[in-house]
Chains A and B, each alone.
Chain A
Amino acid sequence: MNAKLVAEHVGKTFRQRHRWVTAIADLNLYVVENEFVSLLGPSGCGKSTFLMMAAGLDFPTSGRLLFNGSEITGPSIERGMVFQSYTLFPWLTVAENIRFALQKRSLPRSRQDELVAESVRRVGLEGFEQAYPAQLSGGMRQRVAIARALVYRPQMLLMDEPFGALDAQTRLLMQELLLRVWESARTTVLFVTHDVDEAILLSDRVYVMTARPGTIKAEVTIDLPRPRTAATESTPRYVELRRLILEQIHIEAQRAFTSMAS
């Protein structure tokens, strides 16, 4: 097994005013090369915190987080990130935003042009190369963010609820777009979401997280055939997987609810 990312007993505690809060405790997971894995959990379960640590933008307070077998000590060009909020550089056009990501790859200008044009095409933004982010819709902005994170070919892509701020229809279109892009590129992906359908539709495996302290509650392999589309969501196996995951979440939610009430 060729594990790209491995989390061993990862914990994260931080000080909030005058008390210590455990955001993540004893979290174990792995992501194999070319695998699409989702981290599914309610808001505030620490899944985004975990992704920040995988990116090297934050660090665990206990346990180990390994990338290609060595401990993550900081951000790396080999782990691309797509954030939840709009993070395009507003002073750069679509093409310039994508090209910005290439500057540490030391490529000739002509090769850069090729790569930028290719990724613009991949996310279907031909004709918008010279537009500024302010002129784009939310869905288009996230498409540029995906193109920007893919263009420099990081070994792994970390996605933090990238479609969380989009409306339902745009969201579904974006999921299909991501499926197409991923099925042709096959980059290793760790995808954070609170949306059960999104996790099933996109992933090879889903880790279900619990809240406070955040840890892995269950691991579900999504054995739905690829290529997948929105129509996949009406197949019997999909419905079965969905029920299975929802059951896990429900048990957890009830446990959290009763512990809160007591």
Chain B
Amino acid sequence: MTWTLIAEQALNGLQFGVMLFLMAAGLTLIFGVMGLINLAHGSLYMVGAFACAAVAAATGSWWLGVAASLVFAAAAGAVVELAVIRRLYKRDHLDQVLATFALILVFSEGTRWLFGSFPLYLSVPQGLSGAVTLPGGIQYPLFRLFIIGVGLALAAGLMIFIARTRVGARIRAGQSDREMISALGVNIDRLYTLVFALGAALAGLAGALVASLQSVQVGMGEPVLILAFVVIIIGGLGSIPGAFVGALIVGLSDTLGRSMLPALFAQFMEPSSATAVGSSLSSMLIYIVMACVLVVRPTGLFGAKH
């Protein structure tokens, strides 16, 4: 395995990581501010992907598709918050798990009803197709670099938004003491809807960006949702920087593990069993990483200590 291949896989891991961050940021914000565990977050990712693929196919413009994914995911998020999620804040986690599990069924089957069971495909937009040569002679797809750039910019923007703006201050206040901030005259209901719609828009954007790399189909959101859970467990619930670090750890270890572990085992095992052991182990790697983090820090890397 040459080092250019390793560098390429590291970039793929980074791209996967920033995409996971877009998912995990919304999840962790929603948990941090409202104390809600939202299984339907993967459905909002799916809504974003379908909206992007459908609108891009209808208008011929990928950029309009991305805009549509933001609008549709945020709108779906706001509607779900107003109709269902709002009633769950005071319930225990069991009810939240169950209600959002029911929402997944409704979203998935509803999408299948509208779009059918066949996957949709979306090509990379014209200006972003092709490969660029990076320093060191690595040929790398421009579109993946674009995703990395967008993800990093949004991560920075989100951290500044939470740390520096008035709305961000309210979100942080909501995280630490929700009764106090509603007593101080902040419209807490509107803040909750806003946070939920913001998280939904980020998830929808992640779905739209990934739509050009893989097929768009019902059920695409749940594997990513579970990875996003792993991310926020590693990073610590409610922490945006934690979600960022966790997303990079998960993205890099998963991608590098898949490409390198089988080759590593082939050094001292026969090829067929090396592939079997390597691929089995690499599919479990991020969970092993998660377990190790929790042994050292039960509330995650950036989580508050009990």
Pair from one complex? no
